[in-house]
Amino acid sequence: MRPAGRGHALLLDLDGTLLDTAPDMAAALNRLRCEEGHAELAFEAIRPHVSHGGAALVRLGFGAAEPAEFERLRRRFLELYRAGLATETRLFPGFPFVLQALESAGIPWGIVTNKPGWLTTPLLAALGLASRVACVVAGDTLPERKPHPAPLLHAAALAGCEPARCVYAGDAERDIIAGRAAGMQTVAVRFGYLAQGEDPAAWRPDGIVDRPADLLDWLAPATR
């Protein structure tokens, strides 16, 4: 599916869309499980849950813990993850070309993530992206988080682009819900952290892409 009109800014989810953070998040979860006397989980079992954040990973790793115990585990998971934040995390293959193409064409790109800023900011700095991104809206930038549209509307304002001229891409249903509510064109990425049998078409995005380079078809002027 192709857009009826091309966008003038690209906004991206972070985990599972722009960055492949699963290796480092899975490593942190397995370190925590080892600390607690449990065997490691297979990477393939962890990967589909990474887009849903630390709390989802702790639930995966430890089930229905009591609230106080869950909070202790969640905090320790975040400590472990912060210590190895950018050990193996990389841009998804194809994104170096995409970002360069956008920048060469003068098209701003930004990030809207539910990841907290105290993790997002150092991660982007470690990967050399902090000076390149037009805007970053993290999970604690505003009182609201996705699927609320407020973070996306804030990002559009920071990028200097009307929401209707923005494209928002993500690998989770909340991304599409938020983008649609913000009046943006929405694109689901199939290379992200989808669970087995999960169908992005069910989220009703404006389009679905299989590789980062396909996002360029949604932007104007032509970047190919």
Residues with catalytic roles: 13
Question: Distance between CA 22 and CA 24 in Å, rounded?
Answer: 6
Task: Judge contact between 72 and 125, C-beta under 8 A.
Answer: no
And the tokens for 220?
A: 């104007």
Question: Distance between CA 110 and CA 123 in Å, rounded?
Answer: 14
Tokens 């982007």 belong to 124
Task: Give the Cβ contact number of residue 37 at 10 Å.
Answer: 6
Question: Distance between CA 201 and CA 206 in Å, rounded?
Answer: 9
Tell me the backbone φ, ψ of residue 124, rounded to 5 degrees.
-65, -40
Question: Distance between CA 131 and CA 114 in Å, rounded?
Answer: 20
Q: Residues for the chain: how many in total? A: 224
Residue 212: name the closest of 121, 100, 113, 120 by CA: 100
